Structure 1
Amino acid sequence: MTRAVALGTFDLLHPGHVHYLREAAEWGEELHVVVADGERVSHKDPVLPDDQRVRMVEALDPVTAAHPGDPDDISAPIRRIDPDVLVLGGDQHHDEEEVAAMLTDWGVECEVRRASLAEGEGEQLYSSSAIAERILDEREEKRAVSP
């Protein structure tokens, strides 16, 4: 059985996440998703708690199982899953060769692939940051209009 693994923060789920996970699922018969531990996320502070983000991801059709990230050892869930392929998101900043070297250091033998970026059309938003920014902008506009 071919196991694919995807990873990310998955805060404020949006169509870009669904695109990523659907594409990642094409690389294996099972798709396991590691949801980053909120304390280890360096690029933003997740809005939703870890357990809620895991449950949301697990509810998505392409996902076989969602796993919480380990607060002390980022390699632990990957080593437990022992994937055949690790699929990076199209917008994730990780370098494929560096990830492959890290996996080798952890004793995990698998391919590293990169999903394509979701193509936005018109008003579609494919990033948590863009969604949050739009919410804040709309709230600000409403406050400016309301007495």
Structure 2
Amino acid sequence: MNKLVRVLATGTFDILHPGHISFLEQAKALGDELYVIIGRDANISNKPKPIIPEDQRLLMIQSLKPVDHAILGSLTDYFEPLQIIQPDIVVLGFNQQIDAVKLKKDLNDHGFFPKIVRLSEADTGSVDDMYSSRKIIAEVLKKRCLKD
């Protein structure tokens, strides 16, 4: 029996948009099972805190067709969920602020040896598409809040 290829994607997934869907579809295409770890509200420090609470972000991601398994990340140990998942591939979005070389070293130091794949921006859609939370927020402000 062939071993299933487990793909891991991570993210905040606040204000779910087409860019997230594209990211998860591309990640799923790399293997057999897609696992997604959703960043915990308390652990997000590289950008503004999410608008959507973590339990609701988890429900949204769990409901998406490409996603086989979705969980909240650990509050104390980034690597804890990986002990259960044992990913073969870790997928990074083109704009995720993660150093792939450092991530590979950190994973190896913790006994994990997945392939790291950084997706390109090529499949993110046209400039008119809403493929960015920042773009969506700016558009909402422009159209709904900043009218004369």
Task: Verify same fold: TM over 0.5.
Answer: yes
Maintained 8 Å contact 1:12/1:47: yes
Residue 116 of structure 1 and its aligned partner are, at CA, apart by 2.1
The amino acid across from 2:84 in the alignment is R
Structure 2 Cα separation of the partners of residues 39 and 129 of structure 1: 21
Q: Which residue identity is paired with 1:15?
A: P
1:132 aligns with 2:109: no
Q: Could you tell me which runs of 5 or more consecutive residues in structure 2 were left unpaired when the two chains were aligned.
A: none
Are the counterparts in 1 of residues 22 and 124 from structure 2 also a CA contact under 8 Å? no
Q: Report the Cα offset of residue 122 of structure 1.
A: 4.4
Task: Write the distance in 2 (CA, Å) between the matches of 1:8 and 1:27.
Answer: 17
> Is 1:55 aligned with 2:36?
no
Select which of 120, 125, 130 maps to 1:120: 125
CA-based RMSD of the aligned residues comes to 1.2
Give me the TM-score of the superposition, normalised by structure 2.
Answer: 0.91
Aligned equivalents of 2:139 and 2:131: distance in 1? 12
- Separation (CA, whole Å) in 2 of partners of 1:41 and 1:90: 19
SS in 2 for 1:39: helix
Distance 1:53 1:140 in 2: 25
TM-score calculated relative to the size of structure 1: 0.91
Classify the secondary structure of the residue corresponding to 2:146.
Answer: helix
Distance 1:79 1:136 in 2: 42
User: Does the CA-based 8 Å contact 1:58-1:64 persist in structure 2?
Assistant: yes
Amino acid at match of 1:129: R
Q: Is the 8 A contact 2:5 2:31 kept in 1?
A: yes
Q: Is the 8 A contact 1:79 1:106 kept in 2?
A: no
2:28 paired residue number: 25
C-alpha distance in 2 between matches for 1:119 and 1:57 = 19
Q: Which position in structure 1 is the counterpart of 2:78?
A: 74
The one-letter code of the counterpart of 1:102 is D
Corresponding residue to 1:8 among 2, 8, 11: 11
Deviations 1:6-54 (A, max 9, x none): 0000001101001110110111100000000011111111011111101
